[in-house]
Amino acid sequence: MKILIVEDEPSLRELIQRSLEKERYVVEVAANFQTAMQKIEDYEYDCILLDIMLPDGNGLTLLKHVKQLHKRENVIILSAKDSIEDKVLGLELGADDYLPKPFHLAELNARIRSVIRRHQQEGEVDIRLGNVRIVPEQFQTWVGEKILELNRKEFDILLYFVNRPGRLVNKSTLAESVWGDHIDQVDNFDFIYAQIKNLRKKLKEAGATLELKAVYGFGYKLIVE
């Protein structure tokens, strides 16, 4: 799961970043409006944490932009201005939640999990597809009644696909989501191939009814048999 933190206050930004990295999220940061705009246009995130008062613009303008681009990102507004106007406007513009500063990191974590659960897991703590069950908050994968041991990247790849069953995903989009935005600078994506190969093997050996199909020259697609 990849999160974008849009926050100009360095100490708060770093604090949130460290906390989310401990929760195993891939974390990207934007310290100003321009960087945030660029990242939102170029990449996909599972959740965007959005400060409103930025040195070169307003977070609500970014929120409008996310909606105009028809992006499916969850957005949580983090605002120092605990004004009812900001909250109402943010929610009317389509933000999923609003957290006034100062807040406890534990509460931020809980809110992130909650919006992700609501939008990507239909409110459930687990995702079921075929005979596979994934519990994202515990990083657990089950095939039937048995736990399937996956390494971190294998798990992240599988989670990415079960949230998008049947969708054809190109390698660079997958790499950015699992390894981070910087990965689009690399020359080739052979490292993905190795992880996918192991993941496929583990799924097959466990008798999973899910299969990651390679689409030659493009990427991969998750099929339920």
Q: Where does this chain bind Ca ion (CB under 5 A)? A: 8, 51, 53
- Let me know: does 104 contact 78? Beta carbons within 8 Å: no
Q: How far is the CB of 51 from Ca ion (least distance, A)?
A: 4
Q: How far is the CB of 100 from Ca ion (least distance, A)?
A: 13
Closer CB to Ca ion, residue 61 or residue 198? 61
Closer CB to Ca ion, residue 20 or residue 54? 54
Q: How far is the CB of 178 from Ca ion (least distance, A)?
A: 29
Closer CB to Ca ion, residue 59 or residue 219? 59
Of the candidates 26, 24, 19, 32, the one whose C-alpha atom is nearest the C-alpha of residue 4 is: 26
Of the candidates 8, 114, 101, 109, the one whose C-alpha atom is nearest the C-alpha of residue 53 is: 8
Q: How far is the CB of 79 from Ca ion (least distance, A)?
A: 8
Closer CB to Ca ion, residue 98 or residue 179? 98
Closer CB to Ca ion, residue 16 or residue 132? 16
Closer CB to Ca ion, residue 53 or residue 69? 53
Q: How far is the CB of 52 from Ca ion (least distance, A)?
A: 7
Q: How far is the CB of 15 from Ca ion (least distance, A)?
A: 14
3-state helix/strand/coil string of the chain? CEEEEECCCHHHHHHHHHHHHHCCCEEEEECCHHHHHHHHHHCCCCEEEEECEECCEEHHHHHHHHHHCCCCCEEEEEECCCCHHHHHHHHHCCCCEEEECCCCHHHHHHHHHHHHHHHHCCCCCCEEECCEEEEHHHCEEEECCEECCCCHHHHHHHHHHHCCCCCCEEHHHHHHHHHCHHHHHCCCCHHHHHHHHHHHHHHHHCCCCEEEEEECCCEEEEEEC
